[in-house]
């Protein structure tokens, strides 16, 4: 931990996001666009010159929206990511829905994760060179739903390099507590500044290397 380094709790991170939109007029779409591009850039650093297969695992909220946006940017870079959604396409809302709709217009296949196809996912996951974890963000509280737990188990058991978006899915951003299950990331790209849960509790052993990126929201 660096001297005078600042960390945000989950409520502080959410308040900062709201302040950017309400006080400064920075739309949520702009923030999501900047976050998605930052994730893509970090993914390219990991992949370097290779064009290995990338899987993007998205949740239903803004973290998933960052994942959809990152998948689009990867498409523009010549990659053909596999995109998985832990829920129903029709249930995605707000800015995440807009980015999902863009992917669908680009003819990107979105695989809805259901209990019946978890076995197939477990078989297919070995073909990927990189997994982008955009399942759950800083707003996660309480024990996460069973479908997320099962997907996290599959990802963690795969041995594939994992890049988490903002915070590893299943980690409490304030306390560093594991919410039933938690992604074991090799690298986490977080926005504005580190979250408190990354350095407290079990945070350190789940985040891997942390890269802090700006997305246009003043601190």
Please write the tens of the pLDDT for every residue from 148-181: 999 999 999 999 999 999 999 999 999 999 999 9
In a domain, 3, yes or no: no
Our count of domains for the chain comes to: 1
pTM given for the model: 0.95
User: Is 105 a domain residue?
Assistant: yes
Residues ≥6 apart with Cβ < 8 Å to 160? 125, 126, 128, 129, 130, 131
Question: What is the domain-level CATH number for residue 99?
Answer: 3.40.50.10260
Instruction: With respect to residue 96, please indicate whether it lies within any of the assigned structural domains.
Output: yes
Q: 1 lies in a domain?
A: no
Q: Is residue 35 part of a domain?
A: yes
pLDDT(219) > 80: no
Q: What is the CB neighbour count within 10 angstroms for residue 46?
A: 17
Check residue 1 and give its pLDDT. Answer: 54
Lowest mean pLDDT among 3-12, 14-23, 77-86: 3-12
Note whether residue 30 is domain-resident.
Answer: yes
In a domain, 5, yes or no: no
Q: What is the CA radius of gyration of the chain?
A: 16
**pLDDT surpassing 90 at residue 3:** no
3-class state of residue 210 by DSSP: strand
pLDDT in tens, 121-131: 999 999 999 99
Reference 130, options 187, 176, 90, 169; nearest CA is 187
- Containing domain of residue 65, as a range? 12-213
Does any domain span residue 218? no
């Amino acid at each position: 931990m660096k001297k005078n380094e600042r960390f945000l709790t989950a409520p502080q991170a959410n308040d900062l996001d709201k302040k950017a939109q309400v006080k400064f007029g920075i739309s949520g779409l702009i923030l999501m666009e900047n976050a998605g591009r930052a994730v893509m850039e970090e993914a390219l650093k990991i992949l370097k010159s290779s064009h290995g297969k990338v899987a993007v695992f998205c949740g239903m909220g803004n973290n998933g929206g960052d994942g959809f946006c990152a998948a689009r940017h990867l498409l523009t870079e010549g990659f053909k990511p596999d995109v998985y959604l832990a829920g129903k396409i029709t249930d995605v809302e707000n800015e995440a829905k807009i980015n999902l709709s863009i992917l669908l217009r680009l003819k990107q296949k979105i695989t809805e994760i259901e209990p019946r196809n978890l076995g197939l996912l477990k078989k297919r996951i070995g073909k990927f060179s990189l997994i982008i974890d955009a399942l759950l963000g800083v707003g996660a509280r309480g024990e996460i739903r069973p479908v997320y737990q099962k997907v996290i188990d599959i990802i963690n058991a795969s041995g594939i390099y994992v890049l988490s978006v903002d915070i590893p899915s299943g980690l409490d951003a304030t306390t560093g507590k594991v919410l039933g299950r938690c992604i074991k990331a090799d690298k986490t790209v977080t926005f504005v500044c580190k979250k408190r849960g990354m350095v407290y509790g079990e945070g350190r052993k789940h985040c891997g290397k942390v890269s802090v990126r700006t997305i246009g929201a003043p601190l």
